[in-house]
């Protein structure tokens, strides 16, 4: 299948410039460790800004996903076996970049018995062995709601564990293999398995959601012990992906921030350029 780049006229607030010099510097560090970043795989619009600040979200367990979500740019080819050297390589890159807050994520690995939970834990342990004061944040798939896998994640030593709802229930057809209620239960189970861990979720706007649906989703998150939230604009990676229904103006992101904070969230990052790991170090400052 071709993935022809999509061409649409973005509004003025969605025209971010990339700093190529800093981009190349961090890409060199990532390439040296034979690693992947979700920044590159998902064609994140913040890649220049984050790389210039020497921030990156490491994509472990390969860059092939076992699901077929129509909004995502991560490869859908057959995944490879986990790399036993990856925890060490990630830690070396963390050290080279001087990171103090590390975000680790993965594609969905339904082919692995534990969904990759043990591998996540090994990466956390390697980073903490290097410097236990580094904050580690995990952004995980739903692990098919396997309690043993979620227990490994919750007790891995990570300070934050995120799992994204992505969109409102009515639009869940874009999340192949995922279920809205299951994702909510995953977040609640993580909080139950380790009350010390902070749970976090993220959603995209611009897919045709209604305001009342977003507000209801926020309440669902609060009801499932999740009080950290990111809200950003969906941008279609190519003509083969789900189309953008609307470019949501910045003031509506501000509105959802105000609504969510009044509802009881501890921290919300809400703007057109927000992604789940964007400015991730700010979430624990609340």
226 is in an annotated binding site: no
Q: How far, in Å, CA of 220 to CA of 214, rounded?
A: 10
Rg (CA), the chain: 18
Compute CA 67 distance to the chain's CA centroid, rounded to the nearest angstrom.
16
69 is in an annotated binding site: yes
Contact present, 224 and 185 (Cβ < 8 Å)? yes
Residues 6+ apart with CB under 8 A from 61: 79, 82, 86, 106, 107, 109, 112, 116, 119
Residue 210 token pair: 């209604």
44 is in an annotated binding site: yes
Residue 116 token pair: 């990759």
Residue 31 token pair: 């390439």
* First-to-last C-alpha distance (Å) of the chain: 44
Residue 220 CA: distances (Å) to CA of 65, 99, 123, 135, 174: 27, 33, 31, 27, 20
Residue 262 CA: distances (Å) to CA of 230, 247, 266: 15, 25, 10
Annotated binding site: 39, 44, 50, 65, 69, 72, 277
Annotated binding site for [4Fe-4S] cluster: 39, 44, 50, 65, 69, 72, 277
């Amino acid at each position: 299948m071709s993935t022809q780049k999509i061409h649409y006229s973005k509004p003025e607030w969605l025209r971010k410039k990339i700093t190529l010099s800093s981009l190349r510097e961090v890409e060199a560090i990532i390439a040296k460790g034979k690693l992947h970043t979700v920044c590159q795989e998902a064609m994140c619009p913040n890649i220049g800004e984050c790389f210039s600040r020497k921030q990156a979200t490491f994509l472990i367990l390969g860059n092939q996903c076992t699901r077929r979500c129509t909004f995502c740019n991560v490869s859908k080819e057959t995944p490879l076996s986990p790399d036993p050297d990856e925890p060490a390589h990630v830690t070396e890159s963390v050290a080279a970049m001087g990171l103090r807050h590390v975000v680790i994520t993965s594609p969905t690995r339904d082919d692995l018995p534990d969904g990759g939970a043990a591998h996540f834990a090994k990466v956390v342990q390697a980073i903490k062995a290097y410097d236990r004061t580094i904050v580690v944040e995990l952004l995980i798939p739903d692990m098919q709601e396997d309690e043993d896998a979620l227990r490994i994640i919750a007790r891995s030593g990570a300070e934050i564990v995120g799992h994204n709802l992505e969109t409102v229930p009515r639009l869940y057809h874009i999340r192949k293999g995922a279920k809205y209620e299951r994702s909510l239960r995953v977040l609640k189970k993580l909080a139950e398995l380790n009350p010390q861990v902070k749970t976090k979720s993220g959603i995209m706007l611009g897919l045709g959601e209604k305001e009342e649906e977003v507000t209801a989703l926020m309440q669902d998150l609060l009801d499932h012990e999740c009080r950290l939230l990111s809200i950003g604009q969906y941008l279609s990676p190519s003509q083969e992906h789900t189309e953008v229904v609307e470019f949501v103006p910045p003031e509506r992101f501000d509105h959802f921030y105000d609504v969510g904070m009044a509802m009881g969230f501890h921290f919300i990052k809400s703007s057109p350029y927000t992604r789940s790991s964007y400015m991730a170090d700010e979430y624990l400052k609340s």
